[in-house]
């Protein structure tokens, strides 16, 4: 669970508790108090340090979004513009190896304290998306990506869009649920190319 979701959860629980009858004065915790609570309950171990609880400006703005307080259009525009500035496209072809991309989509290993930091991380794409038809277990948090390239075309422009979307989805949609795989260093440049190939190579099972 990322820090934004966890912060919202803590605030929701705290707000729910504050509505219960009590002899004492109720108090809705501030974001600073929630952050302090989170840090007090987490312990650094291996590569999983407390710095993961530190929010950047985008995460802070997105953490303030609630069901009764949707993201203001000007704030959404600010987030998208700032995140678009982080996009980094490598020279040459953006199309890697779809077979490697499928392996990346299948695994969520990486960046946990128990994982070997010298090994590459996975994207765990199936946790949120439908991709290849032979995979019967997949999440529905994100849209289906089955036949992604076949439906949209195998153009260089679409390849660039996919690369950017994987690199930093908030550059396209503010407060996305999708991780910023490239911007946060979760996946390498080559890994992102391989995921692009999984979606954009005509020979990929995604497009069959």
Per-residue pLDDT of the chain (208 residues; tens, 9 = 90+): 455 555 544 444 444 444 444 455 678 888 788 878 888 888 999 999 988 888 999 999 998 887 778 899 999 999 999 999 999 999 999 999 999 999 999 999 999 999 999 999 999 999 999 999 999 999 999 999 999 999 999 999 999 999 999 999 999 999 999 999 999 999 999 999 999 999 999 999 999 9
**Exposed, middle or buried by CB within 10 Å (0-12, 13-18, 19+), for 204?**
buried
What residues are paired with 45 via a beta bridge?
A: 48
pLDDT score of 117: 92
CA distances from 163 to 1, 19, 169, 189, 190 (A): 24, 46, 10, 9, 11
Q: Show the DSSP H helices in the chain as ranges.
A: 3-18, 31-41, 57-63, 73-84, 98-106, 148-152, 156-167, 189-200
Coil, strand, or helix at residue 66? strand
pTM of the model: 0.83
Q: For residue 69, what is the DSSP state? A: B
pLDDT score at 24? 57
- DSSP state at residue 56: -
pLDDT of residue 37: 87
CA dist list (Å): 49 to 3, 111, 161: 13, 10, 32
What does the angle CA 174 – CA 33 – CA 11 come to, to the nearest 5 degrees? 55
Q: Tell the residue number behind the tokens 């997949």, with chain if given.
A: 138
The alpha carbon of residue 172 and the mean position of all alpha carbons in its chain are separated, in whole angstroms, by 13
Question: Token pair 């890697």 is at which residue?
Answer: 96
């Amino acid at each position: 669970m990322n820090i934004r979701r966890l912060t919202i959860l803590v605030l929701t629980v705290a707000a729910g508790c504050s509505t219960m009858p009590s002899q004492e004065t109720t108090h809705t915790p501030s974001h600073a108090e929630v952050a302090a609570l989170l840090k007090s309950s987490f312990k650094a171990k291996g590569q999983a340090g407390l710095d993961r609880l530190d929010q950047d400006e985008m995460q802070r703005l997105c953490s303030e979004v609630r069901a009764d307080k949707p993201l203001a259009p000007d704030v959404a525009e600010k987030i998208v513009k700032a995140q678009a500035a982080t996009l980094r496209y490598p020279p040459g072809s953006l199309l890697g190896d779809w077979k490697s991309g499928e392996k990346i989509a299948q695994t969520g290993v990486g960046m946990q304290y128990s994982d070997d930091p010298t090994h590459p991380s996975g994207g765990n794409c199936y946790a949120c998306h439908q991709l290849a038809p032979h995979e019967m277990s997949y999440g529905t948090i994100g849209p289906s990506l089955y036949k992604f390239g076949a439906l949209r075309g195998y153009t260089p422009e679409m390849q660039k869009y996919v690369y950017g979307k994987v690199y930093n989805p908030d550059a396209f949609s503010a407060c996305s649920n999708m991780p910023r795989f490239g911007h946060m260093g979760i996946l390498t440049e080559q890994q992102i190319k391989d995921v692009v190939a999984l979606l954009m190579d005509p020979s990929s099972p995604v497009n069959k």
